[in-house]
Amino acid sequence: MLRSKYKFSYDEIRIIVMALVEFKNQLIAEGRYTDAVDDLLIRFVD
């Protein structure tokens, strides 16, 4: 697994995760796949 070169603060991670969850909800409402968003969420939550 590749490690990120960037260091995010707690607040930045929180904003990114909230935006990804909102985007995932939008994709679900449209009936589209959310696999890529799920992968990103896992990376940011870990």
pLDDT band at 41 (very low <50, low <70, confident <90, very high): very high
More reliable by pLDDT, 46 or 26:
26
Both structure tokens of 28: 């679900």
- Asked if pLDDT for residue 45 goes beyond 70, the answer is yes
Tokens 């969850």 locate to: 21
Please tell me the distance from the alpha carbon of residue 43 to that of residue 41, in angstroms, as a whole number: 5
The predicted model scores a pTM of 0.81
**DSSP state letter for 46:** -
- Asked if pLDDT for residue 34 goes beyond 80, the answer is yes
Taking only the tens place, the pLDDT of each residue in 2-33 is 666 788 899 999 999 999 999 999 999 999 99
